[in-house]
Amino acid sequence: MSFRHAFDPTVLREYDIRGIVGRTLHPADAFAIGRTFGSIVARNGGSRVFVGYDGRLSSPDLEPKLVEGLMASGMTVVRIGRGPTPMLYFAATVHEADGAVMVTGSHNPPDYNGFKMMLGRKPFYGSAIAALGHAAAAGDVVDEATGQQSHMDVCKDYVARLLADWDGGDRMLKVVWDNGNGAAGEVLERLVAGLPGEHIVLNGTIDGRFPAHHPDPTVVQNLQQLIAAVRAEGADIGVAFDGDADRIGCVDDQGVPLFGDQLLVVLGRDVLRDRPGATIIADVKASQVLFDEIKVAGGNPLMWKTGHSLIKAKMAETGAPLAGEMSGHIFFADKWYGFDDALYAAVRVLGIIARLDSPLSTVRRALPQVVNTPELRFDCDEARKFAVIEEVAGRLREAGAQVAETDGVRVLTEDGWWLLRASNTQAVLVARAESKTEAGLERLKASLVEQLAASGLAAPDFSGANAGH
């Protein structure tokens, strides 16, 4: 049987394949991903692919078609069932799989779904995803074959491995967890049963409709239930996950959110006690406070491109034991396997808190205080977005500005810094600015607006954008 398949072009993204079920993403796409990715694994000399799926309503329909496509490429498929994305990463890593595919819509709305992939132990992204799309369209696959499948329950081993790195002793913390009705539900139930202390789990039931709130812990609005519970319970910390639990959100004992870069300061200091001089990686959207504090703690801060696959690749290249993004992806290669895992990051954070002689809020308040904008996203035509960045960079270089061009432009001035970068996944530009003073932040925003205007773009909406950090 000949095979050719054309994907909706909007679903082939930089870091994964993702779309709206029934509109841009269908079961036939799942089969095509299996058929084509299985062929890539086969041509890479592999034969065994692990598959998992999240708690979305469409995942049980997409996963079997994915498996069917993989088997048609001769793969031996190991199905681990429903759970968080990092559980699949764990299974594929410890069992040395030749590839892995997770059916997940991550933090997107309920009608979305998608696929995250690993080839060997490395992320499969960027040009590799584009090449998969071209191969499917051209029917460039291995001859049809009959593969095999089996089921493996890895939940018990995964939880045991998470608990193995608990280093907080017997201190009885009080912790509120918000699973957000995401895919971590059953794993989280087992995890808290193995940790000391008192644990209150909100929205623990896996429900792909996400009835409590949207499953994205980086948006403060989605943390309101957790904040209220932490304050009501007098808890030491609140922890939240996104839909597939590869991103973490935290609020301290006062119910104040810690952003990804603040969390990385706490984790980085702890790692550097045992690994002085180590490289700690963060993306270009992170606060200057993070890079400065890592240096003060004896580390080597490295600013890198936004994107979980790009960060993972840079970690492998540099041997960094820890990395993180503003989006809540935290990557441990210190005692762990180098992939982003919110459950593992939570265990490490709790261990640190258990060893502190003061509450987490004290640590947060002791950080240098800055004012900044959140991540501002505004529309820019796909064909124009990267050109705008080039134009802005050219003008800044000509003016002798201090510019880092790791990912877009990050401009450092006496007032602080501002960032403008093109999204890899959407037709938008992303901006952010940070200063030690309100007046400084206004000057930074004015400079950013001036550059956008010079490229014919209107300013983003800054209303209500100033926030303490």
Contact assessment for residue 290 and residue 330, using Cβ atoms and an 8 Å cutoff: no
Rounded-to-integer distance, Cα 435 and Cα 416, Å: 4
Q: Is 106 a catalytic residue?
A: yes
Rounded-to-integer distance, Cα 140 and Cα 365, Å: 57
User: Whose CA is closest to 334, among 345, 346, 326, 350?
Assistant: 345
| 202: enclosing H helix or E strand | strand 198-202
Q: How far is CA 219 from the centre of its chain?
A: 13
Q: Encoding tokens for residue 115?
A: 């696929």
Beta strand residue intervals within 284-427, DSSP E: 300-304, 322-324, 330-332, 371-372, 376-379, 402-404, 409-413, 416-422
Catalytic residue among 58, 59, 106, 287: 106
């269908």: which residue's tokens? 26
| 136: enclosing H helix or E strand | helix 127-138
Reported as half-sphere exposure (CB side, CA atoms, 13 A), residue 398 has a value of 7
Q: What is the DSSP letter of 144?
A: P
DSSP 103-122: E--TTS-TTEEEEEEEETTE
Q: How far is CA 101 from the centre of its chain?
A: 16
User: Whose CA is closest to 132, among 23, 248, 34, 256?
Assistant: 34
Contact assessment for residue 332 and residue 321, using Cβ atoms and an 8 Å cutoff: yes
Q: Encoding tokens for residue 463?
A: 């209303």
Q: Which residues contact 272 (CB under 8 A, 6 or more apart)?
A: 278, 280, 294, 297, 298, 299
Beta strand residue intervals within 55-180, DSSP E: 76-82, 99-103, 112-119, 122-123, 148-151, 174-178
Residues annotated as part of the active site: 106
